[in-house]
Structure 1
Amino acid sequence: ALLLCRACLGKFYYVTDRDSGAKQKVESGEFDSTVGDRAKAAKTYREVVVYDPDQVYPEYVILYDRLDGGKTVTANDAPFHLELPVYWVNVHRNPISDPFSVHYTVREKIKDLIQRLASGTCSGSKPVVLDVRRVEDSELWNRYVGFKAGLHQSLRNMGETRCLPPNELDGRPESGHALTSKLLEDEVDAEEAAGIENMDFTLNELLLWHGTDEESATAIAESGFLSGSAGTVEHGRRFGEGAYFAEDLAKSISYAPESLAGVRYVLLCRTVCGHIWYTEKSSDTDAHQDAKRSLKHSVLANPDGKGPREYVLFEDTQAYPEYIVQLAVNDDFTATQEDEAPTNQITVQ
């Protein structure tokens, strides 16, 4: 999908090379926007950047399909719901009045995108993505969107506009961004799977990995994350109670047991971290209590300041398990019948 917008640029800062200080020039009042003319410098594209949402009016939503080799498509007049990802098969359905719960095996193009994301965020041996299924579940989605709406309202009540992002918590603003978010910035096909345009960074909404086993992956995709003593999903306790996620896939893989055929399961999840409690302790089993007392919504643990970092979420509604990913970490993988993806309610989309 694309948005065709009216934009008021005012006095713009013109630059032909990457300039990480462009935003600061606008915030100082010297300029109102930035024009990055990469078309002139690198023969790519010219981009316009505005930093105040009031400068933009999204006038048209354009749904499109990329055509290859003479492929043709017919217009789809079905309505769609803006709260759903536009690449979902069920985007035309009302998730409140018309419930759905289906797992789709993704197209090869999306599988390749997940492979690049997995390779780019894994500090250990590079994994091989074997199978990817997208979870489209209206009940889980409604709960997730409900948490986001509640957090937005809470910020408004407190007179706040955003939650401090991870890179502003660890003292390394230039390098402390979530790995998954940084990689997606340069992915031209990301909007077809999990583009950053679909993420609300004011709430610290991030794509993060969660390692688990096959049975738990299926249970989470059907019922969500059940944190705490009443939950059926096993989580770590090194940094308190909650559901554990990571930006470094190698960390999540360490929680994913390997089958006899060498297959592991991880979930690629949308997560809302909200206000984050940051710790560099090597272990802190009371971190979740300290965070809640400080009105935080999650814990970001960076052991000894060296990582790998882990995110701990307290509510199951803070995470949506969008992709079930089967992968192998080495070349010893041998497919067997019991390791094949179940075919019930799965189609290629």
Structure 2
Amino acid sequence: MFGYLSKAMDSMTREGVDALRAGVEDFKDDVSSGVMSLADSPSRVRSLLTRQMDDALARHDSHMVNQLLDNAMANHLMGPQAPSIIRSAAQQQAKRQLRDAIDSADSKRLKGALVAAKRLNATELPEFTEAIEKYKAIRKLPVGWDVNLMVLNREGARMVAQLQLDDPSVCARFQRLLDLTHRKVYTRDRMGQPVPERLRLLTVAAVTNDESWGNYAARREAIRREIDADISGYTRYDVDTMARSSDAESDAGESAESIALALADEDFASPLMQEVNEVFLFHGTSAANAEKIKTHDFRINLAGSNAGSLYGRGIYLAENCTKSDEYTSPLADGVRHLLVCRVALGRVHYTDAKEDADPRGCEDACLKGKYHSILGDRKKCRGTFREFVVFDEEQTYVNYILTYRREDP
């Protein structure tokens, strides 16, 4: 096998270097095609890569170093069990890339360097921690977000983590929110199923999604500036997910308002921006769509697909858990999924029309007019629920995923 490389080791002339690279490619071809025996090829690969890396480092050939590191990853020779010279080269490469990204203060380069350091198994470097803090500051991520975990859990091009919240006090707070926003009102969207007596919480997960949060925060700030420039038509709306409790409810525990403020103050969230009508709202979905929405944002063609589009083709959200429960799909064991979303409602176009609304008119009010969302008050005109609709995916951020079961009458 080393015959492929003998021509490269004879000389360090330009021709020798080119021959070495050609030898590497020939060797890679033989490994992939199975010319070497399965019994001894790993040790041969290890030996060859070690010798080549030693030579590439001595010649300061960064191109070859990178190529050999790629080879090492392809052959599972990266990490604690890798040859020391491979580990050293990986750390040097990651350190250099992280330092350049930190000095650039460019979020894209920082993200790329963090991901590259993960692949090179160099996440213990001080520069990795420094790059994380720099990235969080530039992207304005909530203080408690674990960017290290998000890098390690990276899904495709996104840095995402789903954190299970097992603290009994946090779970009790979410159960209280479900109880406070429960209204036993039947609508035709239940398609004959009874309204459950209660939604019994099973689990809570916080979602930290770097790209989605950045897009949401940027859109929220744009809405704030629009409203500051023209305050006409702006009204602050209260929602049941953030309502003050009655005296009787207060005796039983926290109000929805205090719960919402507490949830927004958690490390994995951030304070609500009242000047843009930022609120928590529910969105019911299936387990599969909950996962897609968590990692790939809302898609308008998914929203409202179970129940039509009374107020236009947008993302439908609710202040009452029983309204969003209508659109959930159970798993075989009866477990259902609700999303708790941060929503920047902005300037709200209100309608309490008793007859069916004009869906195109609602869309135009937001997509062509000065409004940012629709409030369809079916509670007032039909005695059912108020519905909230946005037409821009970036006005929503999935902050929490709840699993629960219905407790039926």
TM-score per shorter chain, which class?
0.5 to 0.7
What's 1:67 paired with? none
Structure 1: how far apart are the matches of 2:268 and 2:163? 18
Q: Indicate yes or no: 2:149 matched with 1:88.
A: no
Deviations for 1:17-37, whole angstroms, at most 9, x for unmatched residues? xxxxxxxxxxxxxxxxxxxxx
Deviations for 1:69-91, whole angstroms, at most 9, x for unmatched residues? xxxxxxx9995649333443349
Q: 1:156: how far off?
A: 3.3
Q: 1:261 aligns with which of 322, 333, 336?
A: 333
Deviations for 1:52-106, whole angstroms, at most 9, x for unmatched residues? xxxxxxxxxxxxxxxxxxxxxxxx9995649333443349999xxx973111111
Relative to 1, partners in 2 of residues 1:100 and 1:263: Cα closer, same or farther, differing over 3 Å?
Answer: same
Aligned residue for 1:265, secondary structure, equals strand
Structure 1: how far apart are the matches of 2:317 and 2:199? 18
What's 2:182 paired with? 122
What's 1:316 paired with? 393
Contact 1:301 1:311 in 2 (8 A): yes
Relative to 1, partners in 2 of residues 1:89 and 1:117: Cα closer, same or farther, differing over 3 Å?
Answer: farther
Contact 2:145 2:267 in 1 (8 A): no
Instruction: Show the 5 A alignment for 1:180-199.
Output: 180-182=241-243, 183-187=255-259, 189-190=262-263, 192-193=265-266, 198-199=271-272
What's 1:281 paired with? 353
Contact 1:87 1:192 in 2 (8 A): no
After alignment, is 269-278 or 108-117 more displaced?
108-117
Relative to 1, partners in 2 of residues 1:206 and 1:302: Cα closer, same or farther, differing over 3 Å?
Answer: same
Q: 1:106 aligns with which of 138, 158, 165?
A: 165
After alignment, is 321-330 or 104-113 more displaced?
104-113
Q: Indicate yes or no: 2:322 matched with 1:250.
A: yes
Structure 2: how far apart are the matches of 1:195 and 1:120? 23
Contact 1:271 1:320 in 2 (8 A): yes
What's 1:302 paired with? 377
Give unmatched runs, 5+ long, in structure 1.
Answer: 1-75, 167-176, 333-349
Relative to 1, partners in 2 of residues 1:99 and 1:260: Cα closer, same or farther, differing over 3 Å?
Answer: closer
Instruction: Show the 5 A alignment for 1:89-238.
Output: 89-90=146-147, 100-108=159-167, 109-124=169-184, 125-158=197-230, 160=231, 163-166=234-237, 177-182=238-243, 183-187=255-259, 189-190=262-263, 192-193=265-266, 198-228=271-301, 234=305, 236-238=308-310
- AA of the residue aligned to 1:215: A
Contact 1:239 1:288 in 2 (8 A): yes
What's 1:43 paired with? none
- AA of the residue aligned to 2:166: R
Q: 1:180: how far off?
A: 1.1
Larger of the two Rg values belongs to structure? 2
Relative to 1, partners in 2 of residues 1:326 and 1:151: Cα closer, same or farther, differing over 3 Å?
Answer: same
What's 1:330 paired with? 407
Q: 1:140: how far off?
A: 0.3
Instruction: Show the 5 A alignment for 1:1-150.
Output: 81=137, 83-90=140-147, 100-108=159-167, 109-124=169-184, 125-150=197-222
Q: 1:165: how far off?
A: 1.7
Deviations for 1:199-257, whole angstroms, at most 9, x for unmatched residues? 011101010000000111110001111114xx588364012110000001100000112
Contact 1:185 1:196 in 2 (8 A): no
Which contiguous aligned blocks of 4+ residues in structure 1 show a shift greater than 6 angstroms?
91-94, 194-197
Contact 1:209 1:252 in 2 (8 A): yes
Aligned residue for 1:136, secondary structure, equals strand
Structure 2: how far apart are the matches of 1:296 and 1:226? 20
Aligned residue for 1:164, secondary structure, equals coil
Structure 2: how far apart are the matches of 1:259 and 1:147? 34
Give unmatched runs, 5+ long, in structure 2.
Answer: 1-128, 152-156, 185-196, 244-254
TM-score by length of 2: 0.52
Aligned residue for 1:326, secondary structure, equals strand
Structure 1: how far apart are the matches of 2:352 and 2:401? 30
- AA of the residue aligned to 1:132: V
What's 1:66 paired with? none
Relative to 1, partners in 2 of residues 1:250 and 1:90: Cα closer, same or farther, differing over 3 Å?
Answer: same
Q: Which has the higher contact order (CA 8 A, sep 6+)?
A: 1
Structure 1: how far apart are the matches of 2:175 and 2:402? 10
Relative to 1, partners in 2 of residues 1:218 and 1:131: Cα closer, same or farther, differing over 3 Å?
Answer: same
Aligned residue for 1:122, secondary structure, equals coil
Contact 2:143 2:267 in 1 (8 A): no
Relative to 1, partners in 2 of residues 1:264 and 1:291: Cα closer, same or farther, differing over 3 Å?
Answer: same
Structure 2: how far apart are the matches of 1:185 and 1:163? 21
